[in-house]
Amino acid sequence: MPFGNTHNQMKLKYSSEQEYPDLSQHNNHMAKLLTPAIYERLRSKQTPSGFTLDDVIQTGIDNPGHPFIMTVGCVAGDEETYEVFKELLDPVIEDRHGGYKPSDKHKTDLNPDNLKGGDDLDPNYVLSSRVRTGRSVRGFCLPPHCSRGERRAVETLSIEALDTLSGDLKGKYYALKNMTDAEQQQLIDDHFLFDKPVSPLLLASGMARDWPDARGIWHNNNKTFLVWVNEEDHLRVISMQQGGNMKEVFNRFCTGLTKIEGLFKDRGHSFMWNEHLGYVLTCPSNLGTGLRAGVHVKLPNMSKHAKFEEVLKKLRLQKRGTGGVDTAAVGGVFDISNADRLGFSEVELVQMVVDGIKLLIEMEKKLEKGQSIDDIMPAQK
Amino acid sequence: MASSFSRLLTSKRKIGFLSLVGGSVTAGFLLHRDVSAGVPVRRSYPASAEYPDLRKHNNCMASHLTPAIYAKLCDKATPNGYTLDEAIQTGVDNPGHPFIKTVGMVAGDEESYEVFADLLDPIIRERHNGYDPRIMTHPTDLDASKIQSGQFDERYVLSSRVRTGRSIRGLSLPPACTRAERREVERVVVDALAGLKGDLTGKYYSLTQMTDKEQQQLIDDHFLFDKPVSPLLTCAGMARDWPDARGIWHNNDKTFLIWINEEDHTRVISMEKGGNMKRVFERFCKGLKEVERLIQERGWEFMWNERLGYILTCPSNLGTGLRAGVHVKLPLMSKDPRFSKILANLRLQKRGTGGVDTAAVGGTFDISNLDRLGLSEVQLVQTVVDGVNYLVECEKRLEKGQDIKVPQPLKQFK
């Protein structure tokens, strides 16, 4: 519970066994790894802002499983969560991020010149291209735990910084609670507007508290660069456009992010980052780059092929419906993006998407002509 | 505004803040301390920066939470560590309800009603017709023999029901309880219920262990409660860890039912088909007293005091926590423009037959008492008996083409 550090003192009256959650029906990373012994050792701890183990795991207790994906089942309330509760979070991170060890180092690379190609994804198949990530402002609690005062302070800082962007990044902020009906409709039509979370995964962690206070959307006048403020993370940064020019999308992404980081630093704030976990975000699944680069792509034949899943896995890609993480595909159009977040740099992940989409389109074309795809099956990346 | 924030923000969040805020707050973090009622909790921002935006809100909390009251209470915690922000979260997250003005806050424990009295007392006054907990006392009366004319005409009254809630003193309430506390509530109550005898003999069905067959039977009997979906409840935190330590107990006759760890520690329900409200209330009182005796034998008691009566999670249920009602066919009455006024004067409310968040179907209504606090159980049930008898008389008169009268408003306790 927010501000619940005093709850922890009271809870310790009961034995660890009495408090240990019933995870017998559960299938998420937290439930797999939270043994009674770990629970016992961590339950008396709290971060300096008062975030406790039960706060970390509440969402995983309240949401035993998800139909499409293996959920993480825990969240961070602040940067220190990943230190104080490392005994649980390190194994979760290792399980979720392909064996990433506590001693591993994460590489950050936001130099778009390092990306090879990506400006020529076939627009007959690729409808749109998008790259998103998140950033947390050091010194403030994260959405599951922040108070209204903190959340508003993050918003104020963000608006101040974003207002100074210029050129093709010049834009405007729309606070959710002050938006006119006309503005709201426009944002919906542009597919920019985020709504109050309905997913119980998010609600159970406390990130929807006080909605819509201090939430908002900033976007540039060209509608190709967008920042969400105080949704699941302090900031979600999105670069997107119609068509298949992923290189341009990634260029803008890197330029914009680097500028924003500079603007925050000018005001005395860095982003949460360290050389082990990379960028620190609310959900452990978004650590490292927090990056999801993806396209909406037409693959009606490929998606019916018996080896579709296998190909995706080998390419280190994942599929989603065009409505996002909790949806199914419609009409053979898929959202295909990188599966990894941590242990690969931004450039490496976008490269995987670019190369992988090229191959998938090649396969789709072959299947259209009735040809086999066996000779172009990829090796495991 | 922005510049004062950036001054605050450039200093380190910890000690710098607290000295800026000033007053007698000690600098640094207080990680290990004995918490007792009213002891301040750490705060990084001044109250004015934390005060919720309630401009679009219409609930009792929003009506009474001034910035001054917020500033006075925001650093306080109950001995269990429950804070004002936690208590009001549901009202902040739920600006309004289409049919009713909601309360907008909950209690996390018995002490909430003391520690946050500056906010809760005005809310109680508003919600309970001016009942002032600082100067008035609440009467408790569970002597069912006092009820007169408690048998309704069953051509109109389809079913009769009385419900209330009870909380176990010493354990936190559903918005704040830990898993161990919730399990303790379950253990204490189930243990006691096992001692019920005669027509009250029954069985407990834990939500976590119920078989599919048991579940289906409970649904068919209209007994099963499900995980709350109403954001009024989920935002208050009462659905955490569902379905751990939740369950339903009922007697073999299926006329006495107890919900465990839903919105309150316990909800106690007596119900029957037909119109014998007197018998329903007799069983209600007998069952409640038996359960109380059984928990007292084991060293526990219900939360109760003479200011507020029985203490429950929602301030709207203080006092008796009692809702006595019927499902009654009033097709002609429901079309009469005087219906709402008649109900109001009789101190009754109508709901759909699906419960508080539903509309009526086919002229059949759920009619029950409006009041909870300041009147005893016997008084409230008598109000329902008299009121429903009057409504049925009106319906009969309308059937015969006769006119009906709007009754004088009932005198309230003040």
A169 and A250 fall within a common domain? yes
A148 and A287 fall within a common domain? yes
Report yes or no on B24 lying in a domain: no
B102 and B179 fall within a common domain? no
Report yes or no on B36 lying in a domain: no
Asked if residue A219 belongs to a known ligand binding site, the reply is no
A153 and A246 fall within a common domain? yes
Report yes or no on A238 lying in a domain: yes
A183 and A55 fall within a common domain? no
- Count of the separate structural domains present in chain A: 2
Nearest CB among B14, B44, B81 relative to A7 is that of B81
- Is A153 in contact with B49 (Cβ distance < 8 A)? yes
Distance (Å, whole) CA B133 – CA A117? 74
Alpha carbon B53 to its chain centroid, in Å, reads 25
A279 and A148 fall within a common domain? yes
Report yes or no on A146 lying in a domain: yes
Distance (Å, whole) CA A245 – CA A235? 24
Distance (Å, whole) CA B260 – CA B242? 12
CATH value at residue B249 = 3.30.590.10
CB A321 within 8 A of CB A328: yes
A81 and A186 fall within a common domain? no
B60 and B156 fall within a common domain? no
B192 and B114 fall within a common domain? no
Report yes or no on B35 lying in a domain: no
β-pairing verdict for B304-305 and B309-310: antiparallel
> To which residue do tokens 């998420």 refer?
A28
- Among candidate residues B111, B112, B67, B66, the one with its CA nearest the CA of residue B87: B112
Report yes or no on A380 lying in a domain: no
Contacts of B2 in chain A (CB under 8 A): 156, 160
A74 and A164 fall within a common domain? no
- Count of the separate structural domains present in chain B: 2
Distance (Å, whole) CA B150 – CA B282? 10
Report yes or no on A219 lying in a domain: yes
A364 and A316 fall within a common domain? yes
pLDDT by residue (tens digit) across B366-412?
999 999 999 999 999 999 999 999 999 999 999 999 999 999 999 87
Neighbouring residues of B130: CB distance < 8 A, sequence distance ≥ 6: B412, B414
CB A187 within 8 A of CB A220: no
B186 and B117 fall within a common domain? no
Contacts of A203 in chain B (CB under 8 A): 234
B175 and B307 fall within a common domain? yes
Report yes or no on B305 lying in a domain: yes
- Token representation of residue B19: 């000295």
B167 and B224 fall within a common domain? yes
- Is B183 in contact with A18 (Cβ distance < 8 A)? yes
Helix axes A148-162, A246-266, angle to 10 degrees: 110
- Token representation of residue B79: 């001995």
A62, with CB counted inside 10 A (0-12, 13-18, 19+), is buried
Question: What are the beta bridge partners of residue A219?
Answer: A172, A226
Q: pLDDT 10s digit of each residue in chain B, 414 long?
A: 333 333 333 333 333 333 333 333 222 233 333 334 444 444 579 999 999 999 999 999 999 999 999 999 999 999 999 999 999 999 999 998 766 799 999 999 999 999 999 999 999 999 999 999 999 999 999 999 999 999 999 999 999 999 999 999 999 999 999 999 999 999 999 999 999 999 999 999 999 999 999 998 998 887 888 888 889 999 999 999 999 999 999 999 999 999 999 999 999 999 999 999 999 999 999 999 999 999 999 999 999 999 999 999 999 999 999 999 999 999 999 999 999 999 999 999 998 876 665 666 778 999 999 999 999 999 999 999 999 999 999 999 999 999 999 999 998 765
CATH value at residue B118 = 1.10.135.10
Confirm or reject contact between B171 and chain A (CB < 8 A). no
B212 and B270 fall within a common domain? yes
B177 and B90 fall within a common domain? no
Q: What is the CB-side half-sphere exposure of residue B207 using CA atoms within 13 A?
A: 22
B225 and B97 fall within a common domain? no
Give this prediction's pTM.
0.88
- Which of these three, B128, B162, B195, is where a domain ends? B128
CB A348 within 8 A of CB A109: yes
Contacts of A8 in chain B (CB under 8 A): 81
Report yes or no on B411 lying in a domain: no
- Is A153 in contact with B45 (Cβ distance < 8 A)? yes
A188 and A89 fall within a common domain? no
A260 and A159 fall within a common domain? yes
Report yes or no on B41 lying in a domain: no
B76 and B163 fall within a common domain? no
Amino acid at A104: D
CB A102 within 8 A of CB A82: no
- Which of these three, A97, A131, A163, is where a domain ends? A97
Which residue range(s) make up the domain with B88?
48-128
- Is B93 in contact with A211 (Cβ distance < 8 A)? yes
Nearest CB among A50, A160, A203 relative to B2 is that of A160
A342 and A206 fall within a common domain? yes
**Rounded (5°) CA angle B199-B202-B204:** 160
Question: What are the beta bridge partners of residue B269?
Answer: B163, B257
CATH value at residue A19 = 1.10.135.10
DSSP labels, B241-289: TTTTT-EEEEETTSSEEEEESSSSSEEEEEEEESSBHHHHHHHHHHHHH
Reported ipTM: 0.89
